[in-house]
Amino acid sequence: MVAAALADLPAAPDAVGHRIVHGGERFTVAMRLEPDVFAALGELAELAPLHQPKSLAAVEAVERVLPSIPSVACFDTSFHATMPPAAATYALPAAWRRRHPVRRYGFHGLSHAYADRRARELTARARRVITCHLGAGASLCAVRDGRSVDTTMGFTPLEGLAMATRSGSVDPGLVLWLQQRERLSAEAMANALENESGIFGLSGTADMRAPGSRRRGGAACARRASTGCGPESERWRRRSTGSTRSSSPVA
């Protein structure tokens, strides 16, 4: 599909920009997609399994059609590289943090950066901004003076708000308990949290528009709809309140 669309371009572009979800600790600014950069991004696929492989496949598809045109990676994690250690650090054993790149990276950074920039253009005095990326994937971000200071997503895009099929934040003790009680492999648990939870788990549909419309389908559908929307509305309210505190100036 990508190749077919590019083949119809009236003229070749000067460059191609790619949204890449995870840049890890190494990539905090846009980078030209040289072979070593591409290989390093592939190693991060386990941290964003729903996104990274598809994005890199798109890069390959573009380069097959436009082999002489530079490809540039723009990272969803870059905007959050400015988060202070208090927001980016997990309270986990220090030995784990030394051995592994364990930190909160945050995602949807390209969207949050644009929303903050536009909000400040329209409201000249705005220094503290809460940006909301709400869709099948969802996150909030606290921005102060154009810099991300906190966000709801973390090490992977699974943390934070519940999404279309992703659980969002869940008590780790509950995850361990369910894994043992249900005798689930790590892969099976990851699939349940990534693909069978969130709004889908609450209401039976991953269509973010559908829970409200189901109220017209009778009492049973209405109950399922309110079950799906109620908990998430409350979680979004709590998270936005926390983000407001994060964006406040520190004395």
- Could you tell me the sign of the dihedral formed by the alpha carbons of 176, 179, 182, 183, in that order? negative
- The secondary structure element, H or E, covering residue 186 is helix 186-195
Q: What does the DSSP 8-state code read for residue 165?
A: S
User: How do 16-20 and 128-134 pair as beta strands?
Assistant: unpaired
Residue whose C-alpha is closest to residue 2's, from 61, 50, 54, 51: 61
Alpha-carbon distance 97 to 177, whole Å?
Answer: 24
Taking CA atoms, 125 is separated from 18, 112, 119, in Å, by 32, 18, 10
Active-site option among 14, 36, 76, 116 = 76
Alpha-carbon distance 80 to 219, whole Å?
Answer: 43
Alpha-carbon distance 55 to 68, whole Å?
Answer: 19
Residue 150 annotated to the active site = no
CB-based contact 119:131 (threshold 8 Å): yes
Alpha-carbon distance 130 to 241, whole Å?
Answer: 10
Residues with active-site annotation: 76
